[in-house]
């Protein structure tokens, strides 16, 4: 499974426009590839630009916390990948729990997760 997470320079999961990197995790090989976030620092349309970049990587799932997605970026991705809701803040903590977390992947999110 290929899983995406948007993180800042300290590897904290952030809203799409605040993370400078898109991390693509291959959970089988345990390889992580880092990509530049095309929406980084853009208050208007940044989340959507980031989501376009994410979708171009063809991931199976995305790591999300409340507020990571907006309605626009959520609807762009709906049906194209699953969502893995997490409580963990740092990518390192997510990696340690990845086998358990990926079992919690869902096809749709509750409105509270992507409201603005």
Domain ranges of the chain: 2-114
The answer to whether residues 107 and 32 touch, using CB atoms and an 8 Å cutoff, is no
Q: What is the pTM of this model?
A: 0.94
Rounded CA separation 8/107 (Å): 25
User: 73 Cβ partners below 8 Å, 6+ apart?
Assistant: 16, 47, 48, 50, 51, 114
Q: What is the pLDDT of residues 56-108, one digit of tens each?
A: 999 999 999 999 999 999 999 999 999 999 999 999 999 999 999 999 999 99
Q: Residue 3's closest CA among 19, 20, 22, 26?
A: 26
Class of the CATH-defined domain 2-114: alpha beta
Helix ranges restricted to H, the chain: 46-56, 71-77, 91-96, 98-102, 111-114
Q: What is the pLDDT of residues 8-66, one digit of tens each?
A: 999 999 999 999 999 999 988 889 999 999 999 998 899 999 999 999 999 999 999 99
Maximum Cα interatomic distance, the chain, rounded to a whole number of Å: 36
Strand 2-7 vs strand 61-64: parallel, antiparallel, or unpaired?
A: parallel
Q: Residue 67's closest CA among 93, 86, 81?
A: 86
């Amino acid at each position: 499974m290929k899983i995406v997470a948007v993180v800042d320079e300290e590897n904290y999961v952030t809203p799409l426009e605040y993370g400078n990197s898109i991390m693509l995790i291959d959970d089988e090989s345990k390889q992580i590839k880092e990509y530049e976030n095309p929406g980084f620092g853009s208050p208007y349309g940044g989340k959507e630009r980031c989501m376009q970049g994410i979708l171009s990587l063809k991931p199976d799932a995305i790591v999300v916390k409340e507020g990571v997605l907006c309605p626009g970026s959520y609807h762009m991705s709906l049906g194209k990948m699953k969502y893995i809701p997490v409580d963990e803040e740092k990518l390192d903590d997510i990696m340690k729990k990845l086998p358990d977390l990926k079992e919690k992947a869902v096809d749709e999110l509750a409105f509270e997760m992507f409201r603005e």
